[in-house]
Structure 1
Amino acid sequence: MRAWSQRKFVMSACAVLLALTLLPSQSFGSPLGAKVKAAQAFDLTAPAKELISGTDLQNNTVLQSFAFDNVNHYLYTVQLMAGGQQLPGESAPVSGADRALNGDLCLTKLDESGHVISYMYLKGFGHGVQIGVEPGVGQNGEPVSYLWTEVDAAHDHPADGTNGWGTQIARFPFTDGAVVTPNTPWLEKYSLIQGADRTTVSLDTAHDLLTMRYRLDGLFHFAVFELSKVKSHSHVQPLADVVQPQLSYDFQGFTSYGSTLYLLEGTHSVSTYPDGNTYITSVDLNSGEVTDRQLMTAAPDLTYREPEGLAVQLPDPNHPEAPRLAFGFASGDTGGRQANIYYLDALKD
């Protein structure tokens, strides 16, 4: 944990004043002296390629985010739980509005071709804005995927009946068919920024990094930590901390690779024909400078086409220098949403 200092507040306030337009020269520099190790950035102008399309998940709600277990070759997706389901311990089916308010999520495990293998339910976790996956080994030597998510959902305006959002982050092994709550004994919690809420998380396993998006005093930040140190529950200080640049559309996900942070924004494209408004923005984590912003025109024929989630895939974890930047779209009609994932694999020189 770390204290919110007066100096940090002043610098963040100055950053907000700078956030008038989203330009490549825009800077929201970290006040921290440490540096995140650089890696080649993705070329956001390259054509996108299809990974999966028209995929049904465990629930029929909108895809919120996804992440890869690059060692065991699984894909995990998360959604708000569909209304009308009754889980063990519940006295009656629960509406979709109450599920959203409570922060109840559905987690689906798929192979990398998009075939559903299993699922879990996460009660009281949050909105599922972004998740991470860490490959590991179980007590008996079996391969295990550890999920990193938000947890301990809270809501800003309960009278509005809208959404619950995480206030900490959690790590837990994927367990077929399990229903997990914030009090499940085998769930680990981490409170990395004192007083933060709206916490979400992404992993860069190629560089042993964890990036957490959080809100503090009304500002959204991204803090980068060494993953191995976070797992040790030691006193952890961020390597970098940058204020989120101003975006033009709805924030829909984030991930990082090396010293570059990637942000996804946009809305469903029904009202923005023909090109939509899905953008990916890149930010230098060491300086806070916005380095690129490009319109994503992949999958123009999808019905609904709402951008949802970013993640880095390593097709061969022995060659982390050949990553993919994957971004998702929810498609289909209400009550029958599907997941679609595309990726960029060209790197800048």
Structure 2
Amino acid sequence: MRPLPLAAALCALVLALLAASLSLGYAPIPLRALLGAGDPLHVMVMQQIRLPRAALAALVGAALGLSGAAMQGYLRNPLAEPGLIGVSGSAALGAVIALQTGLAAAFSLALPLMALVFAGGAVGLILLLAGPRGGSLTLILAGIAVSALAGALVSLALNLSSNPYATFEIVFWMMGSVADRSLEHLALAAPLIALGAALLLTTGRGLDALTLGEDAAQALGVSLGRLRLTLLLGTAAAVGAATAVAGAVGFVGLVVPHLLRPLCKARPARLLWASGLGGAAMVLAADLAVRLVLPDRDLKLGVVMAILGAPLFLHLIYRTRRGV
């Protein structure tokens, strides 16, 4: 599919889902309330509740989809996803510590800030473990080690927790959700996700060259060290910010690039922006389903994404096997 029609179709889908997310819910509200027109109660709900939720759903999906496409392109592995390098697990560890120590109750933005600090620390540790000249295999091993350590520490915090309320909050936060988020969360996450996306989008040329192999990419003038550093920093900023405000939302960075790769003719540079738009559409659709399917229950976004993403990914695997 040509880039322009694909971009137009994905942008139209994201805008349609964004409009549906703003107007639909427990009680339908006209979109004019977004501009301050109409019932004051509708205006308050639209601007203070639905706008941050819809915007964060789109940003989180874009961050995860774009990061997943970048990781798969760099590692040349269709099973790669943003959590492979331990950023999301480390961000979750920071959030768990904020909840366990009571910082989240004392300061509203303590949880996302702690998550961002730990995500940045994870990238620093991965760079230290992988070394300045480490290849993709070293990066994978370092990421797995950091992710396993973060997961073990999260389990330890849950195991030793003496506060049942903190444990309850930790478990529900780790399920992933964009509900009850404010404009403060949006203001915190949006600049970092935008920075991470800008860094990742600059890796397109290098990822295209890398499809020919590392030696060929270097012969074409691609600096693999700079490419890896840009990829890690961009993924840390985008995924760290997304995890900080939404918790653990899986399968987006894994499934979306697979769905869109045939439409992009398997070109990593084209797949980057397509996966960003596709990820935004998928998370917006999943969050809309959360609000409409069981409006009286606190159904979590991460649970819905796992229910939808796992069968879809299994179908993609089966289709790939048949093609082979």
TM-score band w.r.t. shorter chain: under 0.3
Bigger helix share: 2
State TM-score, norm by structure 1: 0.24
Bigger strand share: 1
Higher RCO structure (Cα 8 Å, ≥6 apart): 2
